[in-house]
Chains A and B, each alone.
Chain A
Amino acid sequence: MTAWLVRRLAAAMAIVFAVVTITFCVIHLAHGTPFLPGPDQDVDPQVVARLRQQFGLDRPLPAQYVKYLWALLHGELGESFYLRRPVADALADAIPPTVTLAGAALLIDFLLGLACGVYQAVRARRFADIALGNLALFLNAMPTFWLGLVLLLVFGQWLRWFPVAGMRDPVLCPTIAGARCTVDVLWHLALPALTLGLVGAAGTARYQRAAMLEVIDQDFVRTARAKGLGEGRVVLVHTLRNALLPLITLFGLAFPFLLTGAVLVETVFAWPGMGRLSVAAILQRDYPVVVAAALVASAMVTLGNLLADVLYAVADPRIRARSERA
């Protein structure tokens, strides 16, 4: 088991390294020169030249790459071109909001999806099942950012039930810490998390419904029913436990989806997370931030997959044996 884990970790590091290299090359070769202000503003060519020299942009690409790798191995992520601070600081400020959003979205995803899937399985092939199934199909098919725009328009602008942008109210939140601030953040979190969560919940519901239908007809359930246990107990205790395994797979699948979906949703809702940071950095050609963001994203995805595999192996000894043979 340990040998397998070590091998997987080494593979994970190799993957992240490959991603960093690819990102570095692509972004440096892209059109658009950093530090070059447009015709809208005055450009002093001396200032620009000095800046490019300061950041090493006048050296050849392989030399820049080696310098970057060397710094990376020492734990240095570099300094952002435009944010005027170390990249690590910018990431440290951006990661918690993304994690909060992803966490809330996952919560909504699983709770709603689970509840929906179970209900659909119990009411299989009747009206509720078909109606919910079609709703899930529709939700799963729409672009996440479009759903965000529509929710924002209806609940934010027209009904004024939720705020229009941002993570917190700057007047309320630094003023009173604790409960009021938490409520304020939750209020701002509602629409973006709902956007991401609803689309994910639709997929989870379909998955869960199928998984439960597979189990619900099996012998041990019929035996439980025959023994006279209440329907609710049968559903919750027996079928759910066995249908939980696919959830771990879903967790591994949901992670990259949330990272990508978060990019667009963060842009729509002005959520100050990593998605917005990465998109702005790419559009501005802020090289250090772009490469660091790719590193963090791929590390999160790879480690997430690793975690899912470990959980799987722990949960099901058959899988553990199979994976050790592979």
Chain B
Amino acid sequence: MPGTRPPDRRTAPVVLVGVLLVALASCERRGGCTGDYCGALVFAAAGEPDILLPPVTQQAYARDVLEQIFLKLADLGPSGNTVGDEDFRPLLAERWEWDGPLTLVFHVDPRARWQDGQPVNAADVVFTFDIYTDSLVNSPYRSSLRSIGAVTARDSLTAVFRFRTRYPEMFYDAVYHMRMLPAHLLRTVPRDQWRSAGFGRAPVGSGPYRFVSWKAGQSIELAADSTSFLGRPHIRRLIWRFTPDLQVAVTQTVAGDADAVDVLGPPDNVKRAKGAPDLVTYPYRGAVYGFLGFNLAAGGDTNKPHPLFGDRELRRALAMVVDRQALLKNVWGDLAQVPPGPLARIWSIWDPATRELPYDTAQGRRLLTRLGWRDSDGDGILERDGQPLAFRILVPTTSGLRRQYARLLQQQFRAAGADVQLDEVEFSVFDERTQAGRFDAALVTRTVDPTPSSSIAQVWTSAGRSNAGHYANPVFDRLVDEARAATGRDEAKRQWRRALETLNQDAPAVFLFAPDNVAAVHRRVAGVTIRPDSYWALVRLWRIPADQLTERDRMEP
């Protein structure tokens, strides 16, 4: 370019600004935290909590954070047993006793304090029960507390629970669903405004971690309460980073931007995590099972059986032609198992000896032929009375796993002579159509509670609220009631096995997978234990040894 221009006239300011930025960036306070009580742990979460107020949210992401801030009276032990009270660990209640078959008395730990300094007392327990069961508050846990008649305070540290009936999981219902709330801070909130109360964005609890900040859409930060009566947590700061989906969460953890992710999910992600040198993987029992549910009632009307799936023999035949082990190997590798019924890995009633329909294509085809399905025009699709054996599988677009299963199932059914088309819809439409019964078959993934009493009953008994396929068998209902009344673990296992064997013979669904989850946590964290029903429940026991502290661990907030 003609004309001269001194070369450093424009470049000098740029260099200067660059040097300044670098200098500022590297400027940090030397020193920081040292010792055993430092550490900043970053969780990569695939979603954001809706509100941090225990009675009004059922979300798993909210539960992860609430677990650190709010305590229950007692919680599940490592065995996960929900029957009786021997396997529970005391938290806010230091001890309890039975004052008769229907009366349970809790003694609140006198050392327990709310994070604003006030002591925790029985009035808080009474208030909490009142809130959870108030119809104005509209808590989703309200129906789980139906069998508790009343909660009263005998004195300032003694709370009395009175039950309506006797059943094996009374203690579980008394302690598991409710997290104790500070009455003195929440009494003034109008009952119909609990759903979006401001307290839920700046909560105060009695747990080992205090709330610090919540940046909407970005992160939540908690700080350890050094005066917690359960013992001072070793890790000083807990931070949740929100990502829009699991893939990004795993990428962040592998890249080192986060320290832990609770459920890695598909085998690809597990492989990536195992390949990362700084991560350790922790497998644990999963609380999920997936199935292809048949719709037994057309359009949700129980008086009108579905033209195809109202027929028990057809369901059995179709269930028999699916090679569930092969599908599992393709999609999950060795990270999941085929459940012998509506079972999740977390349940102790998981019995591999449960009798179910075998994978037997030949028998399935014979059954189909016996029912009158023949391929009369040679197109590979069976027909009967002019009607082809055709149906649609409903899948949500958001789950890559279920989409994969849908395609594999389509292939397998086609090989058996059924013409299967896929309906891939967005999740809100999926929810709406399954609730309304507007589907033939749907791929459902079900998250379960630590006990099968509620989970199996909700989905598979005729009175169950989530029975989208409208499966109804009075024999099965009776067996479920008997199983729920079983008092010993072995007896419960036997009873549930009988009930599920009955269900399996009716083939209301094809049970496809029950995964074992894998979590990934950074190498420097010691003492990691993961509770399958609430993954980060034991974080207060984890620690980062002083010689493993990174620069971020040492940073003063």
Contacts and interface: CB of A to CB of B under 8 A. Distances in A.
Contacts of B241: 166, 170
A166 B218 contact: yes
A172 B555 CA distance: 8
B243 A166 contact: yes
A276 interface: yes
A82 B241 CA distance: 19
B163 interface: no
A174 B444 contact: no
A171 B442 contact: no
A54 B192 contact: yes
B239 A170 contact: yes
Given A94-B217, A171-B40, A175-B555, A41 B58 contact: yes
A79 interface: yes
B13 interface: no
A211 to B, nearest CB: 21
A231 B2 contact: yes
Contact of A85 (B1, B196, B446): B196
* Interface magnitude class on chain A: 35 or more
Interface residues of B, number: 72
Contacts of B281: none
A163 to B, nearest CB: 6
A79 B218 CA distance: 21
B361 interface: no
Contacts of B430: 38
A47 B447 contact: no
A128 to B, nearest CB: 11
A174 B434 contact: no
A84 B200 contact: yes
B98 interface: no
Scoring A40, A43, A54, A82 by chain B CB atoms within 10 A of each residue's CB, the highest score goes to A40
Interface stretch (B138-146, B165-173, B319-327, B498-506): B138-146
A277 B2 CA distance: 52
A164 B248 contact: yes
Nearest to A82: B50
Contact of B3 (A41, A84, A168, A232): A232
A93 B140 CA distance: 28
B215 interface: yes
A323 interface: no
Majority secondary structure, B binding face: mixed
Contact of A41 (B143, B216, B447): B447
Contacts of A21: none
Given A31-B428, A31-B429, A283-B428, A168 B218 contact: yes
Nearest to B553: A171
A85 B52 CA distance: 12
Contacts of A39: 293, 431, 434-435, 442, 444, 446, 459, 466, 468
Contacts of B139: 47
Contacts of B244: 165, 267, 270, 276
B376 to A, nearest CB: 36
B431 A174 contact: no
B195 interface: yes
Interface in B177-228: 192, 195-196, 200-201, 212-213, 215-219, 221
A180 B555 CA distance: 13
A33 interface: yes
Interface stretch (B24-32, B79-87, B309-317): B24-32
B434 A270 contact: no
Scoring B2, B139, B216, B459 by chain A CB atoms within 10 A of each residue's CB, the highest score goes to B216
A215 interface: no
A94 B216 CA distance: 8
A230 interface: yes
A50 interface: yes
Interface stretch (B250-258, B380-388, B483-491, B514-522): B250-258
A272 B24 contact: no
B468 A164 contact: no
B557 interface: yes
Contact of A170 (B1, B21, B215): B215
Nearest to A180: B25
A157 B255 contact: yes
Contacts of B239: 170-171
11 contacts: A44-B140, A47-B139, A50-B138, A54-B192, A79-B196, A83-B50, A84-B56, A167-B218, A168-B218, A171-B555, A270-B243
Interface of A: 31-33, 36-47, 50-51, 54, 79, 82-86, 90, 93-94, 97, 122, 156-157, 160, 163-172, 174-176, 179-180, 183, 230-232, 267, 270, 272, 276-277, 283-285
Given A38-B427, A90-B216, A183-B21, 15 more contacts: A31-B428, A37-B431, A39-B446, A39-B459, A43-B466, A51-B138, A54-B195, A83-B50, A85-B201, A93-B216, A160-B255, A165-B252, A170-B221, A176-B555, A232-B3
The 5 closest A-B pairs by CB, nearest first: A272-B217, A32-B428, A38-B431, A170-B219, A179-B24
